């Protein structure tokens, strides 16, 4: 899409901010291409990561109670409702063992209008024009535009899939995607301000090891960098994977802000309740930004999120939820195994990457103009949505142009759906067999489209 920073009016052009010219802000984004309006009406949506089941009953009841009250529907303190801040402190303090005390609800916790707004506010508080922020690719796409909107410059360091692994080798593990510390160090300049860590990772499903986080922490301390640790999937780890909080490593609390999400924790992504945990030196400036943008987060659903955290331990909610998600993941793994296709087994989050290298479609298939010039994964996702009736998300969207070839061989499927929906999608996906290259023809070069 050709960018222009004027809006044409009858009496002359009106310029808008040059910031919109960066971060792909004016490009047609992947969600618009693959949203429900662009897909057949009966498409099974495994693209966007939202649940098709409700929050737990006791959390919904708390929302109803708050809405029925008077106080629960009025302005909250910009820091967040005190009940929720105390609930966050009670639930998470033991996970920040390096502090040896409880998190301070007044100075170390900030409730935000979703995790996105929280991260945006941190960048608004700390980025000066030209400050550089390091993103590990593939990155959550909202990072890019939000950084550039706040005058920052994204710098990209890719995660590397297992070397030499091809579609014919069968499934691989998300743990095999690795960071290169020499590449990270080479990306540091005098303008570097921050490193973003996302664990459990969207879309790979990788849970960063303690050793990997220690190496990142050493780089951050050496160069006096901030770290934003996006941990919104902290409650969704599988097969015993250990979720380590980088803020708990030596010397990291004072330079780290940890991001959390009620939407991911309680199947309520549309509630837009998130939170930040960090030292007062990070929380206070960020509060100044949130106060002067959204002012406060919606009140009744903060009460519901508080009830969720208060009730989760005695109900063993997160342990049960993990088992349920492992069952959902197993459905899609069985589907891909039956197809004989390779995929990346996640350690966390609710996404799984399918290796699409061996899929072929008619050379003359009529792709829309929005797909023209994009990677093979864009064509795969469009083709599968239209012809198979299941939507997914192309992974190259989460890379800079120089590294898009890494993500181009994968499509992301969300398994945050009920079992019946996943099984229905699985039945449809079996139609992919007719579009797979014969095994004898498989080679290292992949598809030719």
State the chain's maximal CA–CA distance in angstroms: 69
Nearest to 442 by CA among 376, 361, 359, 368: 359
CB 413 within 8 A of CB 392: yes
Tokens at 322, concatenated:
């993990």
pLDDT value, residue 305: 97
Instruction: Give a yes or no: residue 18 inside a domain.
Output: yes
Do 286 and 225 share a domain, yes or no?
yes
E strands along 206-280, which residues?
226-230, 256-261, 274-277
Do 271 and 149 share a domain, yes or no?
yes
Instruction: Give a yes or no: residue 254 inside a domain.
Output: yes
Do 29 and 164 share a domain, yes or no?
no
Please state, in angstroms and rounded to a whole number, the distance separating the CA atoms of residues 55 and 270: 11
CA–centroid distance for 317 within its chain = 22
Do 142 and 272 share a domain, yes or no?
yes
> Considering 298, 315, 332, which residue would you say is the last residue of a domain?
315
Instruction: Give a yes or no: residue 65 inside a domain.
Output: no
The answer for 101, left when phi > 0, alpha when psi is -120 to 50, beta otherwise, is beta
Instruction: Give a yes or no: residue 447 inside a domain.
Output: no
Sheet bearing 153-158, strands edge to edge = 109-112, 274-277, 256-261, 226-230, 192-198, 132-137, 153-158
Do 362 and 329 share a domain, yes or no?
yes
Please state, in angstroms and rounded to a whole number, the distance separating the CA atoms of residues 154 and 35: 27
Do 253 and 114 share a domain, yes or no?
yes
Count CB atoms within 10 A of the CB of residue 416.
Answer: 22
pLDDT value, residue 208: 98
Instruction: Give a yes or no: residue 68 inside a domain.
Output: no
pLDDT value, residue 411: 97
Task: Give, for 289, the enclosing helix (H) or strand (E).
Answer: helix 280-291
> Considering 315, 350, 376, which residue would you say is the last residue of a domain?
315
Do 174 and 286 share a domain, yes or no?
yes
Instruction: Give a yes or no: residue 219 inside a domain.
Output: yes
Do 183 and 296 share a domain, yes or no?
yes
pLDDT value, residue 1: 41
Do 296 and 337 share a domain, yes or no?
no
Nearest to 412 by CA among 201, 135, 262, 239: 201
Tokens at 443, concatenated:
């080679």
Do 135 and 169 share a domain, yes or no?
yes
CATH value at residue 220: 3.40.640.10
Instruction: Give a yes or no: residue 1 inside a domain.
Output: no
pLDDT value, residue 374: 87
pLDDT by position in tens, the chain (length 449): 445 565 555 566 767 777 777 766 666 667 667 666 567 788 999 998 889 999 999 999 999 999 999 888 999 999 999 999 999 999 999 999 888 899 999 999 999 999 999 999 999 999 999 999 999 999 998 899 899 999 999 999 999 999 876 766 789 999 999 999 999 999 999 999 999 999 999 999 999 999 999 999 999 999 999 999 999 999 999 999 999 999 999 999 999 999 999 999 999 999 999 999 999 999 999 999 999 999 999 999 999 999 999 999 999 999 999 999 999 999 999 999 999 999 999 999 999 999 999 999 999 999 988 888 888 999 999 999 999 999 999 999 999 989 999 999 999 999 999 999 999 999 999 999 999 998 744 444 333 33
Do 249 and 124 share a domain, yes or no?
yes
User: Which pTM value belongs to this model?
Assistant: 0.91
Do 429 and 343 share a domain, yes or no?
yes
pLDDT value, residue 38: 60
pLDDT value, residue 101: 93
pLDDT value, residue 12: 63
Q: For the chain, how many structural domains are there in total?
A: 2
pLDDT value, residue 26: 64
CATH value at residue 431: 3.90.1150.10
Instruction: Give a yes or no: residue 32 inside a domain.
Output: yes
Please state, in angstroms and rounded to a whole number, the distance separating the CA atoms of residues 309 and 318: 10
**DSSP, res 255:** G
Q: What is each CA distance from 348 to 94, 214, 254, 352, 404, in whole angstroms?
A: 21, 20, 27, 9, 23
Tokens at 271, concatenated:
């509630």
> Considering 268, 293, 315, which residue would you say is the last residue of a domain?
315
Task: Burial-class residue 318 by CB neighbours within 10 Å (0-12, 13-18, 19+).
Answer: middle
Nearest to 146 by CA among 163, 161, 127, 159: 127
| Structural domain span for residue 221 | 74-315
């Amino acid at each position: 899409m050709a960018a222009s920073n004027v809006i044409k009016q009858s009496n002359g052009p009106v310029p808008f901010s040059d910031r919109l010219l960066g971060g792909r802000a004016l490009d047609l984004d992947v969600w618009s291409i693959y949203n429900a309006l662009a897909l057949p009406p009966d498409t099974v949506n495994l693209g966007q990561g939202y649940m098709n089941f409700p929050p737990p009953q006791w959390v919904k009841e708390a929302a109803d109670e708050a809405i029925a009250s008077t106080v629960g529907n009025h302005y909250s303190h910009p820091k967040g409702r005190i009940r929720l801040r105390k609930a966050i402190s009670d639930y998470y303090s033991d996970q920040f063992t390096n502090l040896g005390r409880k998190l301070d609800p007044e100075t170390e916790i900030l409730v935000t209008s979703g995790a996105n707004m929280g991260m945006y506010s941190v960048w608004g508080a700390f980025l000066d024009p030209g400050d550089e922020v390091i993103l590990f690719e593939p990155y959550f796409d909202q990072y890019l535009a939000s950084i550039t909107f706040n005058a920052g410059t994204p710098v990209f360091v890719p995660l590397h899939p297992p070397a030499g692994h091809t579609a014919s080798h069968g499934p691989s593990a998300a743990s095999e995607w690795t960071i290169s510390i020499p590449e990270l160090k080479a990306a540091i300049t005098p303008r570097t301000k921050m490193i973003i860590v996302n664990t459990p990772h969207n879309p790979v499903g990788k849970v960063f090891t303690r050793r990997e986080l220690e190496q990142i922490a050493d780089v951050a301390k050496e160069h006096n960098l901030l770290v934003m640790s996006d941990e919104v999937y902290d409650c969704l780890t599988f097969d015993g994977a250990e979720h380590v909080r980088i803020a708990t490593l030596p010397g990291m609390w004072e330079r780290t802000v940890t991001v959390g999400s009620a939407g991911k924790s309680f199947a309520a992504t549309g509630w837009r309740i998130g939170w930040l945990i960090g030292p007062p030196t990070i929380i206070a400036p960020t509060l100044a930004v949130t106060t002067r943008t959204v002012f406060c987060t919606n009140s009744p659903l903060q009460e519901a999120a508080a009830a969720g955290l208060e009730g989760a331990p005695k109900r063993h909610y997160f342990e049960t939820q993990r088992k349920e998600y492992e069952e959902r993941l197993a459905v899609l793994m069985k589907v891909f195994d039956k197809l004989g296709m390779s995929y990346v087994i996640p350690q966390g989050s609710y996404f799984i990457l399918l290796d699409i290298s061996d899929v072929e479609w008619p050379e003359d298939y009529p792709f829309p103009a929005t797909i023209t010039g994009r990677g093979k994964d864009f064509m795969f996702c469009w083709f599968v949505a239209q012809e198979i009736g299941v939507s997914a998300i192309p992974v190259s969207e989460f890379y800079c142009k120089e590294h898009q070839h890494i993500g181009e061989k994968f499509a992301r499927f969300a398994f945050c759906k009920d079992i019946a929906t996943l099984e229905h999608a699985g039945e449809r996906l079996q139609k992919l067999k007719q579009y797979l290259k014969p095994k004898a023809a498989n080679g290292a070069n992949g598809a030719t489209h």
